Structure 1
Amino acid sequence: MSFQLRTALNRQSRSRTLALVAGVSTLLFVAGCHKKTSPPPPPPPLTSSAAAPTADLTATPTQIAPGDSVVLTWHTSNANNIQIEGIGEVPSSGTQSVRPTQTTSYHLIARGEGGSTDATATVTVAAPSAPSAPAESNIDDATFHQNVKDIFYDYDSYDVNAQSQSVISQDASFLNQHPELKVVIGGYCDERGSVEYNLALGENRANAAKQALVAAGVSPSRLRTVSYGKEKQFCTDHDEACWQQNRRAQFSLDR
C-alpha cells in the first residue's frame, strides 16, 4: 500500500472516531439538560359520606317540687352510640322517668360515623319549703275518697278531658277547704303496651292531674306523683270497659 493511501485511510478513521465522540457527547448533553418528570400528586384524602347524627332531648315537666319525678324523652338518628350523662348508654329513642333532688341538666351525646352531636334538657327543682308543724286533720280515707274522685283518660293519652276537668274542679274545692291534707297522685295504665312505655305514660298522667289541681288553686307542695304503669290493675277483664277503669289518675291521702 502506498504512503498516500495509508495516510488517506488514517484520516478517514480519525474522522469517524471524532464523529462518534461528538455524537455521544451530544446525547449526554441533551440527557443532562432534560428535566426530571415530577411524581404524580397524592390522591385526595377520603371523605366520609355518612350523614351527621341528630339528637333531641326534652323533660316533662321542666319545673318540679322536691320529690316529684320527670319523664325524659329523646330521639336520635344516624347514631350508633347514645349516652345520657348520669344515666349511661340508651337506645336511639326512648323515655325514662327520673327524680332529681336538685336542679339538673341532662346532657345527651350521640355519636355515629358522620360525627357527634348533643342535646340538653334542664329540670328546675324548687327549693324545699321550711318545715312546719303538721296540722291535725279529722279526714279519714273514706271521707277523702267520697270527696276527691279519680279521673280517667282516653287510650294512649294523658290529656285531661272536659269530663275529668269537671271532676278536678270538685276535687280542688275540697282540698282547698282542707289545706292540711297532702295527696299522692298515682298514674295508671291498662295492660296494653310495654312496661317501659306504660311507666312513662303513667308518669305523664299523674303529672297532668297534678298540674290541673295546681291550676285550680292547690299548692304543688301538697301534691306528690308516682307512676304504676300497668303494674297494678283495678280490673282484670280483657275488654274496653275494663281497660277504661285502669286508665286513671288516683288520688290518695299522703300519710
Structure 2
Amino acid sequence: MSLLRLLQVPVSAATRDFALALMFSTVLILSGCGGHKTEVNAVPAAPAPTPPVASIEASPATVIAGEKIELTWKTLNATQVRIEPLGVAEANGSMTLAPTDSTSYRLIATGPGGTQESVATVTVEPLALNPAKAEEFFAKQGGRQDVFFDMDEYSVRADQQSTISNDVKLLHEHPYLRVLIEGHCDESGSAEYNLALGESRATAVKEMLVSAGIEAARIETITYGKERPFCKESSDQCWKQNRRAHIVPLVEKASIE
C-alpha cells in the first residue's frame, strides 16, 4: 500500500513526486549515500569540574591567653580562598597568631567545582589566679618578676632598670594582662615600718611602669612587709633577696572572680 493511500491524500503528479522525494531522502539519511547502515557517534559531555579540597590546622590547639599558635592551611582546585575571621588568604600558607579568646578559624575554598570548608578550633584558657601558674607563664613569656632594693630604700636602683624595661615590653605585647606588684622587706624593723616600706617599693615600681606607658588601671599593689620572706635564713645574703618588689601577672577580674 502506498504512502499516499495510507495518508488518504488525493493523488496528483505533484503529490506523487513529493512523496517519492521524501521516501528517497529518508532512505539516504538511514542508509548513507552507499545504501549501507551508518553509525552516528554522540558528542561526549564535558567532564564536571573537580571540587575544591581544603584543610586547616592549628598547633597547639589549646593555649593560655597570649601564647602563640601556628595556623597552617592547604587548598586545591580553588580560585577564591578565605579564612574567617581573618579574611582573604593565599591558596596555601601559614601564620603565627596569639589569640586572646577561644576561636574557630574557618577555611572556605571556592572554585568551579563548588565550595569546600574546613575548621580549626583553638581553645584559649585564661590564666588562673594561681601564683605558681601565673609565675610560670610570666617566666615563659620572658618576664622578670623581681626588682631588688637597698636596705631601707624604695627608690629603684640603676641596675634594676633592665627588669622594668623588660616587663614594660612584655605588658605592651600582652595588653590583656594586669599585674599585681607585691612589696617585700627583710626581717629588720617593726611590722608596721616594713608594711609601709613594702608599699613604697611596690608604688615605686608601679610609677615606673606607668611612666613607660602602661595604664595605671592594669597595675595593682599590695604590701606584705616582712610577713612573706622569699629566703628564710638569717643572713645578709638572704635579706638582700627579701628586699624586693615581686611582680605577678593576672588576667581581667571578670575572668578570675
TM-score w.r.t. structure 1 length? 0.45
TM-score w.r.t. structure 2 length? 0.45
